[in-house]
Amino acid sequence: MTQLKPKGNTAVNIAQSIEQLIRHGAWAAGYRLPTVRQLAEELQVNPNTVSVAYKQLRDAGIIATDGRRGSFVPNQTEILHTETAIPTGLIDLASGNVDRRLLPKLDGALLNSYHLSTDVGHHGDHPQLMAFIRQWLHTTTGITADTMLLSSSLDIMERALSQRCMPNAKVIIEDPCWLPLLPLLSNLRLEAIPAKIDNEGAQIPNHIDFNDVSAVILTARAQSPTGVNYSLQRWQQWQHKLSQHSALLIIDDHWNALSRFPFYGMDGFQNEWIYSTSTSKFLGTDFRIAIAASHGPTLKAMKKRFSLGPRWISKLLQHLTYHIWQELNPQGLHNITDSYFQRRNHLIHCLQQHHIYPLGDQGEGQHIWLPVPNEALVIQFLAAKGWAVQSGASFNLSKQAAIRITISNLDWEDCQTLANDIAETLAVSGKAIY
């Protein structure tokens, strides 16, 4: 079949014509575009005109260029959904959900106390909630800064990166990383640079010129999926390194409200940073509100951009979140914290009895990260024993074989059984996991 040809005599016209060919399927994924010189001759235009058109298409992520391969139509990156289908009869240790049993109970009186709003012109921040958040942030992190409410931590990161990073910019992320980050960076046309996780946090990559790095994303506590907490020394090393350059530091502190470990703070760090946390881990996803805090211009730009779209987070959601959060009080949060912490530590202890040592054994959170010799085989064997665990390959750029175990649906008395089954599975599949 003869390929359709682009048209136009300006860079804009040529770029639009090529985009239409790609979007309508005339040029499929993998199709190699004509060279700049070839297309210039066909269209009888200056090669610089075609070069500018190709650059516009590359910046928009519509085409890609790779050395000797030239320019080509890339495979389209689909948005990944993290929901995991759990076969009937298996205990769900794969989905990554929080423990439903620990979520607060709803009180109908809260709804009756709220009057639906009609003031579309107001920015919509709940004054009591915002005051509470500012005080809570100062108490738990020492941060006193401008704050903003958004729908999720991923929303914060997407908006911050969109404001700060040009297409093809380099962004350092932890490896393994929080699952949505890789598709997010891909869809923003940003290059992910891995920083390998050990028991002190992410190691600073030595092979990267930090002058070329636009942003760095670090998880202060309960790193997902490993549960690793940064040591003070590692945190200070990152701050010292970044202070010599201009990269934006995005701090994911999703476990703040449930953490038993200190946040080492931002005192003396002069670079721009954005702090992110949310309520989903202790209130559930229906009452998720994400909190961004920063002292720099990126958050101000995010607020301006937000005002052109959603403008504010639902006032009803803010009202309910404030009152439910208040009713939990420190003791309620402590009980949730203790439940996760004790179960995670107990499972790790049971594994260590078999000489199996997960990464992040001194950490916290709702996940355990276990390198394995054969990921598919281990998942299959554990499924045969009644356990559904998550494949680790999609969490890391290095495609390290591992499994992620989420403890939310794991009872204390089942930890020993699970550890025994893992040990038996590893003995069958090959035990060289360290």
Residue 79 placed within a domain: no
pLDDT band at 290 (very low <50, low <70, confident <90, very high): very high
Residue 309 placed within a domain: yes
250 and 283 housed in the same domain: yes
- Cβ neighbours of residue 140 under 8 Å, at least 6 residues apart? 256, 257, 263
Q: Which domain holds residue 44?
A: 11-72
pLDDT band at 433 (very low <50, low <70, confident <90, very high): very low
Confidence (pLDDT) at 80: 47
Confidence (pLDDT) at 341: 97
Residue 1 placed within a domain: no
414 and 350 housed in the same domain: yes
193 and 243 housed in the same domain: yes
pLDDT at 434 over 50: no
Q: H/E element holding 350?
A: helix 315-352
Residue 249 placed within a domain: yes
- Average pLDDT over every residue of 200-217: 95
144 and 266 housed in the same domain: yes
CATH number at residue 211: 3.40.640.10
Considering its fold, how many domains does the chain have in total? 3
pTM: 0.84
CA distance 260 to 276: 18
Residue 5 placed within a domain: no
Confidence (pLDDT) at 254: 97
CA distance 266 to 236: 10
pLDDT in tens, 227-258: 999 999 999 999 999 999 999 999 999 999 99
Six token digits for residue 233: 């020394």
